[in-house]
């Protein structure tokens, strides 16, 4: 069974569910970013998720999202992932703060079978991308983690990569020999989601480490 995984979640001792901790970082000052309102655009993306991703009306809750500047490219990337891999998506739920973590951008929770997205981050593309760029430069995220597409790819990887596969001896050995060093990848689940996202955004890569991970996942039944 999969637990909770997502951008800005690390395992905490004594807890079964995995939560990414950004305790050494700070969330952006959202007050510096103007939030435009275009609820018609939000509704259009909701209908896109229902019609194109095959979700029900009840399984898409975009409460608190005021515009589609982040939401639209996010949804379109999910559709591309679905087309390429055949995967199905769970409920998509917006909430201001995810699981009490002010730095969490998105999180997949298998117990709830839901993909949570932060309305605060999704309401301002500038706030989101500035934050991802800053956290990447600080070595918390991989240097490639600077786009809306990356968020979609990372979370989709969490959804379609089965936890038991990453608990195997082979998966652990690959992870321990990793060279893509950043704080997010101190967690094995985040490492595999990051590598999967990096590969999906540049499938022409010749990086041997990335290709080794993709080969392992593919042999384990994960589609790219």
| Residue-wise pLDDT tens digits, 88-142 | 999 999 999 998 889 999 999 999 999 999 999 999 999 999 999 999 999 999 9
- By the 8 A CB rule, do 201 and 195 touch? no
Q: What is the CATH number of the domain that holds 109?
A: 3.40.390
pLDDT for the residue numbered 130: 95
- Does residue 166 lie within any of the structural domains? yes
Query: Which residues face 150 on adjacent strands?
Result: none
- Does residue 13 lie within any of the structural domains? yes
- Does residue 19 lie within any of the structural domains? yes
Could you tell me the two tokens for 115? 């993909």
- Residue 93, SS3 per DSSP: strand
Distance CA(131)–CA(129), nearest Å, equals 5
Structural domain count of the chain: 1
pLDDT for the residue numbered 222: 97
- Does residue 224 lie within any of the structural domains? no
- Does residue 21 lie within any of the structural domains? yes
Q: Which domain holds residue 53?
A: 4-219
pLDDT for the residue numbered 23: 47
pLDDT for the residue numbered 193: 95
Would you give the DSSP letter of residue 193? H
Give the pLDDT mean for 165-177: 96
- Does residue 154 lie within any of the structural domains? yes
Q: What is the pTM of this model?
A: 0.90
**CA neighbours within 13 Å on the CB side: how many for 49?**
27
Q: Pinpoint the alpha helices (H) of the chain.
A: 39-52, 71-85, 119-122, 125-137, 148-160, 163-166, 169-176, 188-201, 208-219
pLDDT for the residue numbered 179: 84
């Amino acid at each position: 069974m999969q637990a909770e995984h997502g951008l800005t979640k690390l395992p905490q001792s004594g807890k079964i569910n995995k939560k990414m901790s950004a305790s050494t970082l700070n969330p952006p000052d959202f007050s510096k970013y103007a939030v435009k309102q275009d609820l018609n655009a939000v509704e259009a993306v909701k209908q896109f998720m229902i019609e194109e991703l095959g979700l029900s009306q009840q399984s898409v809750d975009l409460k608190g999202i005021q515009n589609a500047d982040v939401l639209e490219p996010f949804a379109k990337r999910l559709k591309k992932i679905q087309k390429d891999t055949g995967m199905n998506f769970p409920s998509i739920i917006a909430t201001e703060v995810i699981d009490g973590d002010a730095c969490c951008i998105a999180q997949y929770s298998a117990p709830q079978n839901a993909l949570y997205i932060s309305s605060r981050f999704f309401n301002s593309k500038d706030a989101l991308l500035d934050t991802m760029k800053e956290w990447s430069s600080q070595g918390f995220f991989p240097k490639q983690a600077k786009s809306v597409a990356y968020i979609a790819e990372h979370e989709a990887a969490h959804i379609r990569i089965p936890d038991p596969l990453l608990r195997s001896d082979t998966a652990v050995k690959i992870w321990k020999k990793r060279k893509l060093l950043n704080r997010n990848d101190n967690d094995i689940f985040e490492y595999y989601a990051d590598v999967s996202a990096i590969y999906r955004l540049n499938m022409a890569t010749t990086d041997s480490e990335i290709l080794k991970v993709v080969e392992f996942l593919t042999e384990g039944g994960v589609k790219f």
